[in-house]
Structure 1
Amino acid sequence: MAGDQDMFDAVVMADERFHGEGYLEGYEEGSSLGIIEGRRHGTLHGAKVGSEIGCYQGFAFAWRGLLHGCTTERDSKKMKVLEALIGMIQKFPYDDPTYDKLHEDLDRIRGKFKQLCSLLNVQPDFKISAEGSGLSF
Protein backbone atom coordinates (compact mmCIF):
# COMPACT_ATOMS: atom_id res chain seq x y z
CA MET A 1 0.00 0.00 0.00
CA ALA A 2 2.86 2.37 0.73
CA GLY A 3 4.27 1.80 -2.78
CA ASP A 4 0.91 2.70 -4.32
CA GLN A 5 0.80 5.91 -2.26
CA ASP A 6 4.32 6.93 -3.41
CA MET A 7 3.41 6.31 -7.06
CA PHE A 8 0.22 8.35 -6.68
CA ASP A 9 2.14 11.24 -5.06
CA ALA A 10 4.69 11.18 -7.89
CA VAL A 11 1.90 11.54 -10.49
CA VAL A 12 0.06 14.27 -8.60
CA MET A 13 3.19 16.25 -7.80
CA ALA A 14 4.71 15.93 -11.33
CA ASP A 15 3.12 19.17 -12.51
CA GLU A 16 4.58 21.13 -9.60
CA ARG A 17 7.98 19.46 -9.96
CA PHE A 18 8.17 20.14 -13.71
CA HIS A 19 7.06 23.73 -13.18
CA GLY A 20 9.86 24.25 -10.63
CA GLU A 21 12.49 22.60 -12.83
CA GLY A 22 11.37 24.64 -15.86
CA TYR A 23 11.54 27.84 -13.86
CA LEU A 24 15.09 27.08 -12.69
CA GLU A 25 16.28 26.19 -16.20
CA GLY A 26 14.69 29.35 -17.63
CA TYR A 27 16.17 31.50 -14.90
CA GLU A 28 19.68 30.11 -15.47
CA GLU A 29 19.46 30.56 -19.25
CA GLY A 30 18.01 34.08 -18.89
CA SER A 31 20.78 35.04 -16.48
CA SER A 32 23.42 33.74 -18.87
CA LEU A 33 21.93 35.58 -21.85
CA GLY A 34 21.51 38.72 -19.73
CA ILE A 35 25.18 38.71 -18.86
CA ILE A 36 26.14 38.29 -22.52
CA GLU A 37 23.78 41.06 -23.65
CA GLY A 38 24.90 43.37 -20.83
CA ARG A 39 28.54 42.81 -21.70
CA ARG A 40 27.87 43.55 -25.38
CA HIS A 41 25.95 46.74 -24.52
CA GLY A 42 28.65 47.86 -22.08
CA THR A 43 31.39 47.27 -24.62
CA LEU A 44 29.57 49.26 -27.29
CA HIS A 45 28.72 52.15 -24.95
CA GLY A 46 32.23 52.18 -23.48
CA ALA A 47 33.75 52.29 -26.96
CA LYS A 48 31.58 55.28 -27.88
CA VAL A 49 32.53 57.16 -24.72
CA GLY A 50 36.20 56.29 -25.20
CA SER A 51 36.10 57.43 -28.81
CA GLU A 52 34.48 60.72 -27.84
CA ILE A 53 36.99 61.38 -25.05
CA GLY A 54 39.84 60.41 -27.38
CA CYS A 55 38.71 62.95 -29.98
CA TYR A 56 38.52 65.65 -27.32
CA GLN A 57 42.00 64.74 -26.11
CA GLY A 58 43.51 64.78 -29.59
CA PHE A 59 41.82 68.11 -30.31
CA ALA A 60 43.16 69.57 -27.05
CA PHE A 61 46.71 68.32 -27.59
CA ALA A 62 46.79 69.70 -31.14
CA TRP A 63 45.59 73.13 -29.99
CA ARG A 64 48.03 73.12 -27.08
CA GLY A 65 50.83 72.67 -29.60
CA LEU A 66 49.45 75.46 -31.77
CA LEU A 67 48.97 77.92 -28.90
CA HIS A 68 52.16 77.07 -27.01
CA GLY A 69 54.16 80.09 -28.12
CA CYS A 70 51.34 82.64 -28.02
CA THR A 71 51.52 85.24 -25.25
CA THR A 72 48.53 87.56 -25.73
CA GLU A 73 45.94 87.89 -22.98
CA ARG A 74 43.28 86.26 -25.15
CA ASP A 75 45.59 83.34 -25.89
CA SER A 76 46.28 83.06 -22.16
CA LYS A 77 42.55 82.53 -21.52
CA LYS A 78 42.41 79.92 -24.28
CA MET A 79 45.38 78.10 -22.75
CA LYS A 80 43.77 78.17 -19.31
CA VAL A 81 40.56 76.56 -20.61
CA LEU A 82 42.60 74.16 -22.73
CA GLU A 83 44.68 73.02 -19.75
CA ALA A 84 41.49 72.63 -17.68
CA LEU A 85 40.02 70.38 -20.40
CA ILE A 86 43.19 68.28 -20.57
CA GLY A 87 43.20 67.95 -16.79
CA MET A 88 39.57 66.79 -16.78
CA ILE A 89 40.30 64.24 -19.50
CA GLN A 90 43.33 62.90 -17.64
CA LYS A 91 41.32 62.49 -14.43
CA PHE A 92 38.46 60.72 -16.21
CA PRO A 93 38.06 57.18 -14.74
CA TYR A 94 38.50 55.06 -17.90
CA ASP A 95 38.97 51.81 -16.02
CA ASP A 96 36.15 52.12 -13.45
CA PRO A 97 32.74 51.35 -14.99
CA THR A 98 31.12 51.54 -11.55
CA TYR A 99 32.15 55.18 -11.03
CA ASP A 100 28.90 56.85 -9.98
CA LYS A 101 29.67 60.29 -11.43
CA LEU A 102 30.83 59.08 -14.83
CA HIS A 103 28.03 60.80 -16.75
CA GLU A 104 28.39 64.01 -14.75
CA ASP A 105 32.12 64.16 -15.48
CA LEU A 106 31.49 63.39 -19.14
CA ASP A 107 28.98 66.25 -19.31
CA ARG A 108 31.54 68.59 -17.70
CA ILE A 109 34.14 67.58 -20.28
CA ARG A 110 31.65 68.19 -23.07
CA GLY A 111 30.85 71.62 -21.64
CA LYS A 112 34.53 72.55 -21.32
CA PHE A 113 35.10 71.35 -24.88
CA LYS A 114 32.26 73.57 -26.13
CA GLN A 115 33.68 76.51 -24.18
CA LEU A 116 37.09 75.94 -25.76
CA CYS A 117 35.58 75.70 -29.24
CA SER A 118 33.80 78.98 -28.65
CA LEU A 119 37.03 80.67 -27.58
CA LEU A 120 38.87 79.23 -30.59
CA ASN A 121 35.99 80.17 -32.90
CA VAL A 122 35.66 76.66 -34.38
CA GLN A 123 32.45 74.74 -35.08
CA PRO A 124 33.07 71.06 -34.23
CA ASP A 125 30.88 68.24 -35.50
CA PHE A 126 31.54 65.06 -33.53
CA LYS A 127 30.06 61.95 -35.16
CA ILE A 128 29.99 58.32 -34.14
CA SER A 129 29.15 55.91 -36.93
CA ALA A 130 29.68 52.29 -37.92
CA GLU A 131 32.86 53.25 -39.80
CA GLY A 132 34.32 54.95 -36.75
CA SER A 133 34.19 58.25 -35.02
CA GLY A 134 35.45 61.61 -36.04
CA LEU A 135 35.61 65.23 -35.22
CA SER A 136 35.28 67.59 -38.15
CA PHE A 137 35.12 71.36 -38.54
Structure 2
Amino acid sequence: MNNSETKEPLFDPNNVKYDQMLGNLQGNILKGHGRNFTAHLFIRFYKNNRKEAVQWLKNFAEKVTSCKKQLKETDIFKKNGISGSVFFGFYLTGEGYSYLGEKADFLTSMKNAKLEDPDVEEWEEGYREEIHAMILIADDN
Protein backbone atom coordinates (compact mmCIF):
# COMPACT_ATOMS: atom_id res chain seq x y z
CA MET A 1 0.00 0.00 0.00
CA ASN A 2 1.50 3.36 -0.98
CA ASN A 3 1.08 6.80 0.59
CA SER A 4 -1.70 7.90 -1.78
CA GLU A 5 -3.78 4.87 -0.81
CA THR A 6 -3.41 5.53 2.94
CA LYS A 7 -4.11 9.30 2.61
CA GLU A 8 -1.38 10.01 5.19
CA PRO A 9 0.73 13.10 4.56
CA LEU A 10 4.31 12.50 3.47
CA PHE A 11 5.46 14.87 6.18
CA ASP A 12 3.57 16.00 9.26
CA PRO A 13 5.25 19.08 10.78
CA ASN A 14 3.22 18.60 13.98
CA ASN A 15 4.75 15.17 14.60
CA VAL A 16 7.17 15.54 17.54
CA LYS A 17 9.70 13.28 15.84
CA TYR A 18 10.47 16.24 13.51
CA ASP A 19 10.81 18.87 16.28
CA GLN A 20 14.60 18.85 16.39
CA MET A 21 14.98 18.90 12.62
CA LEU A 22 12.45 21.76 12.24
CA GLY A 23 14.06 23.65 15.11
CA ASN A 24 17.45 23.47 13.37
CA LEU A 25 16.11 24.27 9.90
CA GLN A 26 15.76 27.89 8.87
CA GLY A 27 12.26 29.07 8.06
CA ASN A 28 11.25 29.97 4.49
CA ILE A 29 12.81 26.74 3.22
CA LEU A 30 9.89 24.29 3.32
CA LYS A 31 7.24 27.00 3.06
CA GLY A 32 7.27 30.72 2.32
CA HIS A 33 7.25 33.07 5.31
CA GLY A 34 3.87 34.57 4.33
CA ARG A 35 4.56 38.13 5.53
CA ASN A 36 3.29 41.09 3.50
CA PHE A 37 6.48 43.17 3.51
CA THR A 38 10.16 42.32 3.19
CA ALA A 39 13.51 44.05 3.26
CA HIS A 40 16.54 42.44 1.66
CA LEU A 41 19.99 43.38 2.92
CA PHE A 42 22.88 42.30 0.72
CA ILE A 43 26.16 41.64 2.51
CA ARG A 44 29.76 41.69 1.43
CA PHE A 45 32.31 40.51 3.99
CA TYR A 46 35.59 42.39 4.36
CA LYS A 47 38.65 40.80 2.81
CA ASN A 48 40.81 38.76 5.20
CA ASN A 49 38.29 39.11 8.01
CA ARG A 50 36.90 35.56 8.11
CA LYS A 51 37.23 35.07 11.87
CA GLU A 52 35.13 38.17 12.61
CA ALA A 53 32.60 37.24 9.91
CA VAL A 54 32.15 33.77 11.41
CA GLN A 55 31.58 35.28 14.87
CA TRP A 56 29.07 37.76 13.43
CA LEU A 57 27.24 34.89 11.71
CA LYS A 58 27.07 32.90 14.94
CA ASN A 59 25.57 35.91 16.72
CA PHE A 60 23.11 36.66 13.93
CA ALA A 61 22.05 33.00 13.69
CA GLU A 62 20.26 33.45 17.03
CA LYS A 63 17.86 35.88 15.31
CA VAL A 64 17.07 33.61 12.35
CA THR A 65 13.52 32.27 12.43
CA SER A 66 13.39 28.49 12.63
CA CYS A 67 11.07 26.45 10.47
CA LYS A 68 9.43 25.15 13.65
CA LYS A 69 8.62 28.67 14.86
CA GLN A 70 7.41 29.69 11.39
CA LEU A 71 5.04 26.71 11.13
CA LYS A 72 3.63 27.36 14.63
CA GLU A 73 3.03 31.01 13.78
CA THR A 74 1.34 29.97 10.52
CA ASP A 75 -1.04 27.70 12.46
CA ILE A 76 -1.88 30.53 14.88
CA PHE A 77 -2.55 32.87 11.97
CA LYS A 78 -4.83 30.35 10.26
CA LYS A 79 -6.78 29.70 13.48
CA ASN A 80 -6.90 33.18 15.02
CA GLY A 81 -5.79 35.66 12.36
CA ILE A 82 -2.87 36.76 14.54
CA SER A 83 0.24 37.66 12.57
CA GLY A 84 3.54 36.10 13.52
CA SER A 85 6.61 37.92 14.75
CA VAL A 86 9.19 39.57 12.52
CA PHE A 87 10.76 36.92 10.29
CA PHE A 88 14.55 36.80 9.86
CA GLY A 89 16.26 34.67 7.21
CA PHE A 90 19.90 34.38 6.20
CA TYR A 91 21.13 33.15 2.83
CA LEU A 92 24.70 32.57 1.66
CA THR A 93 25.81 32.74 -1.95
CA GLY A 94 28.41 30.39 -3.38
CA GLU A 95 30.90 33.24 -2.94
CA GLY A 96 29.86 33.51 0.71
CA TYR A 97 30.52 29.82 1.30
CA SER A 98 33.93 30.17 -0.36
CA TYR A 99 34.77 33.20 1.79
CA LEU A 100 34.00 31.13 4.89
CA GLY A 101 36.19 28.30 3.62
CA GLU A 102 33.35 25.96 2.69
CA LYS A 103 32.68 24.30 -0.64
CA ALA A 104 29.31 24.98 -2.25
CA ASP A 105 28.15 22.60 -4.96
CA PHE A 106 25.92 25.13 -6.66
CA LEU A 107 26.11 28.32 -8.66
CA THR A 108 29.20 30.25 -7.61
CA SER A 109 27.97 33.77 -8.32
CA MET A 110 24.71 35.65 -8.41
CA LYS A 111 26.04 37.27 -11.57
CA ASN A 112 25.95 33.91 -13.37
CA ALA A 113 22.33 33.12 -12.53
CA LYS A 114 20.15 32.66 -15.59
CA LEU A 115 17.29 34.90 -14.44
CA GLU A 116 16.85 37.05 -17.54
CA ASP A 117 18.44 39.94 -15.64
CA PRO A 118 20.04 42.79 -17.56
CA ASP A 119 23.78 42.55 -18.20
CA VAL A 120 25.87 43.01 -15.05
CA GLU A 121 27.23 46.29 -16.46
CA GLU A 122 23.67 47.69 -16.24
CA TRP A 123 23.24 46.81 -12.55
CA GLU A 124 23.52 49.46 -9.86
CA GLU A 125 27.15 49.81 -8.82
CA GLY A 126 26.96 48.03 -5.44
CA TYR A 127 25.38 44.93 -6.94
CA ARG A 128 28.20 44.48 -9.44
CA GLU A 129 30.58 43.53 -6.62
CA GLU A 130 30.77 40.15 -4.91
CA ILE A 131 27.76 39.53 -2.70
CA HIS A 132 28.37 37.00 0.04
CA ALA A 133 24.99 36.82 1.73
CA MET A 134 21.52 38.26 2.08
CA ILE A 135 19.42 38.91 5.15
CA LEU A 136 15.67 38.81 4.66
CA ILE A 137 13.53 40.66 7.20
CA ALA A 138 9.78 40.27 6.81
CA ASP A 139 6.71 41.42 8.70
CA ASP A 140 3.05 42.17 8.14
CA ASN A 141 3.33 45.90 8.87
Higher share of residues assigned strand: 2
**Which of 1 and 2 has greater Rg?**
1
Higher share of residues assigned helix: 1
Q: TM-score, normalised by structure 1?
A: 0.30
Q: TM-score, normalised by structure 2?
A: 0.29
Higher relative contact order (CA 8 A, sep 6+): 2
